[in-house]
Amino acid sequence: MRGISVAAPMLALCLWAAPYLAAQQAAPAGKQGPQAEPAQPAAAGLGKPMNLPVSVDPNTYILGADDVITVRVWREQDLSGTMTVRPDGKITMPLINEIKADGMTPIQVGEAITTALSKFINNPQVTVSVDAVRSKRYLMTGEIARPGAYPLATPTTVFEAITMAGGFQEFANKKNITIIRGDKRLKFNWNEVVKGKNLSQNVLLENGDHVIVQ
């Protein structure tokens, strides 16, 4: 009688677990069970930079058309908000209408808004931050892990750009990398730079540069 009392629960347990074990065997390697692999970031199109977190110096970064900024006016929620610099280089705000932003730093834009609002508000306190850099970008194409357009938010060397793009694909020629800059063709040899040789080729990227990994 004791043997029967043990076997019955065991049989029930096996019947309950059978569908789960079958699903485990049918699942592809690396994706067994309810936990799937995290999705890999998709490569951005060449027209828009990837939506990467940006950290710019508000004292030195120069705003341009398509950059996304947030204006915060202390205790004035109706005057605060996120906006995009228009193609004409301006932004629009309540009370003061248009303010020039193109060619200015976030600090300078904040000062201009403060001056304009002072006609309507007593001692306004304004801060301007950059949410997305879209006016300055560079392209990464070819045998690179994550090709696409990247925001040029801070000074970035070729070496840093390749690293941020995830490095090379399997058959990349690390000795033959080209930076297209207008009508110029600059060469970059990853292997040399890693060894500390010919470091002058590790130039800072400029807006519109196109890095091609053969």
Q: What is the pLDDT of residue 55?
A: 82
CATH number of the domain bearing residue 86: 3.30.1950.10
Please identify, among 132, 155, 183, the residue that sits at the C-terminal boundary of a domain: 132
Among residues 41, 40, 22, 42, the alpha carbon closest in space to that of 32 is found at 22
Q: Is residue 31, in this structure, part of any structural domain at all?
A: no
Q: What is the pLDDT of residue 47?
A: 54
Q: What is the pLDDT of residue 169?
A: 97
CATH number of the domain bearing residue 205: 3.10.560.10
Domain that residue 195 falls in: 137-213
Q: Is residue 169, in this structure, part of any structural domain at all?
A: yes
What's the structural domain count of the chain? 2
3-state SS assignment for residue 8:
helix
Q: Are residues 175 and 207 in the same domain?
A: yes
Q: What is the pLDDT of residue 128?
A: 97
Classify the C-alpha dihedral 204-70-102-105 as positive or negative: negative
Q: List the pLDDT tens digit at each of the 214 positions of the chain.
A: 444 444 444 444 344 444 444 444 444 444 444 343 333 333 334 455 655 556 899 999 999 999 999 999 999 999 999 999 999 999 999 999 999 999 999 999 999 999 999 999 999 999 999 999 999 999 999 999 999 999 999 999 999 999 999 999 999 999 999 999 999 999 999 999 999 999 999 999 999 999 999 9
pTM (predicted TM-score) = 0.70
Q: What is the pLDDT of residue 125?
A: 97
Q: Is residue 49, in this structure, part of any structural domain at all?
A: no
Exposed/middle/buried for 168, CB within 10 Å: 0-12, 13-18, 19+? middle
Q: What is the pLDDT of residue 187?
A: 98
Output the six-digit token pair for 88: 């004409």
Q: Is residue 6, in this structure, part of any structural domain at all?
A: no
Q: Is residue 111, in this structure, part of any structural domain at all?
A: yes
